């Protein structure tokens, strides 16, 4: 069994803290994002460089336009850049379809300026879709999304769905976009970021939990794709880069494990599937 690890970085910087809300829209909250851009991201880039692992960074256009230097370092190091909104607005909070469309288009423009090409992948801010999100992803030609949770370690095809409150839930036709599933269980933010009056977790227990999920996948899932979601403003803080290094080394020591960008992991999954048919 071959397994793939996709380390993904949601490079939000200050963008989530621009939105009014319980914890957003304040200078001190924004300073957490400045730390992410100016300290956390360089630490993660250095770590991935030392360990020679390709990764995928989902970067809001706001981050690209505000902190170009670390974004250029990410590109120069060969990592993939994916879409994460321009303004990091959760899709359900756009005022209209047109407002969502304009923000997605602006995010693509920022990425094109950074990398020279449009992104293949989209990750929804806050991991949610509005009723317009999937049709917009189709319109803009995205190949994959990494926001859904219908599988654990297995990419799957996004489909139309019918979810009336007064009738059965049904899925419809595939929409031509592959979903590379994420999990709140493999996201540093809910586990390790202080939020309101919620204390952060035991860091060792969180990294141990991620390691045990990887071990479970390698024993039970055929050709699993393990997606871990990191935020520079969370996992870039000490001593987490060292703990992340230990986790990556544990994974790399397992025979048959590869680290890949999400795009490359999908290409590998597709060619493996084609091979089985012959």
Which residues partner with 5 through β-bridges? 226, 259
Residues 125-164 interacting with Zn ion (rule: CB under 5 A): 125
Q: Which stretch binds Zn ion (CB under 5 A): 20-28, 46-54, 120-128, 165-173?
A: 120-128
| CA-wise closest residue to 47 among 253, 246, 260 | 246
Query: What's the closest the beta carbon of residue 10 comes to Zn ion, in angstroms?
Result: 4
What is the rounded CA–CA span in Å between residue 49 and residue 77? 7
**Residue 188 binds to Zn ion (criterion: CB under 5 A):** no
Helices and strands counted in the chain (H then E): 11, 9
Minimum CB distance to Zn ion smaller for 12 or for 103: 12
Minimum CB distance to Zn ion smaller for 107 or for 224: 107
Mask 69-108, x = binds Zn ion (CB under 5 A)? ----------------------------------------
Helix, strand, coil shares, percent, the chain, to 5 = 50, 20, 35
For residue 108, give both structure tokens.
């693509």
List Cα–Cα distances, 168 to 132, 161, 164, 165, in angstroms.
21, 11, 7, 8
Q: Which stretch binds Zn ion (CB under 5 A): 75-83, 117-125, 168-176, 248-256?
A: 117-125
**Residue 10 binds to Zn ion (criterion: CB under 5 A):** yes
Q: Which stretch binds Zn ion (CB under 5 A): 8-16, 129-137, 147-155, 267-275?
A: 8-16
At residue 177, φ and ψ (nearest 5 deg) are: -130, 130
Q: Which segments of 160-277 does DSSP mark as H helices, in order?
A: 188-192, 203-220, 232-235, 240-252, 262-277
| CA-wise closest residue to 83 among 41, 55, 120, 117 | 120
Minimum CB distance to Zn ion smaller for 62 or for 132: 62
Q: What is the CA radius of gyration of the chain?
A: 18
Minimum CB distance to Zn ion smaller for 36 or for 224: 36
Binds Zn ion (CB under 5 A): choice among 3, 4, 12, 179: 12
What is the rounded CA–CA span in Å between residue 145 and residue 56? 12
Query: What's the closest the beta carbon of residue 91 comes to Zn ion, in angstroms?
Result: 12
Minimum CB distance to Zn ion smaller for 10 or for 100: 10
Q: Which stretch binds Zn ion (CB under 5 A): 49-57, 124-132, 170-178, 207-215?
A: 124-132
Query: What's the closest the beta carbon of residue 229 comes to Zn ion, in angstroms?
Result: 9
Which residues partner with 195 through β-bridges? 198
Minimum CB distance to Zn ion smaller for 10 or for 152: 10
Q: Which stretch binds Zn ion (CB under 5 A): 20-28, 40-48, 123-131, 270-278?
A: 123-131
The residues that touch Zn ion, with contacts defined as CB under 5 A, are 10, 12, 125
């Amino acid at each position: 069994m071959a397994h793939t690890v996709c380390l993904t970085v949601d490079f939000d910087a200050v963008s989530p803290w621009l939105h009014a809300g319980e914890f957003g829209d304040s200078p001190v909250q924004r300073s957490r994002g400045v730390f992410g851009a100016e300290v956390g991201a360089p630490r993660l880039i250095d770590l991935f460089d030392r360990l020679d692992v390709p990764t995928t960074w989902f970067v809001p256009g706001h981050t690209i336009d505000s902190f170009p230097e670390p974004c250029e370092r990410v590109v120069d190091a060969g990592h993939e850049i994916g879409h994460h909104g321009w303004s990091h607005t959760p899709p359900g909070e756009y005022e209209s379809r047109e407002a969502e469309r304009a923000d997605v288009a602006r995010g693509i423009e920022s990425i094109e300026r950074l990398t020279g090409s449009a992104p293949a992948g989209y990750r929804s801010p806050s991991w949610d879709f509005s009723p317009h999100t999937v049709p917009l992803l189709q319109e803009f030609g995205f190949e994959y999304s990494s926001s859904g949770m219908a599988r654990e370690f297995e990419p799957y095809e996004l489909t139309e769905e019918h979810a009336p409150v007064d009738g059965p839930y049904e899925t419809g036709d595939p929409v031509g976009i592959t979903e590379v599933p994420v999990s709140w269980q493999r996201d540093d933010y809910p586990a390790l970021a202080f939020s309101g009056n919620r204390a952060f977790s035991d860091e060792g227990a969180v990294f141990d939990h991620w390691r045990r999920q990887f071990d479970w996948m390698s024993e039970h899932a055929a050709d699993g794709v393990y997606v871990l979601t990191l935020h520079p403003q969370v996992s870039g803080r000490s001593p987490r880069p060292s703990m992340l290094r230990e986790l990556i080394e544990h994974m790399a020591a397992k025979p048959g494990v590869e680290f890949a960008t999400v795009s490359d992991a999908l290409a590998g999954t597709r060619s493996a599937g084609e091979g089985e048919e012959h």
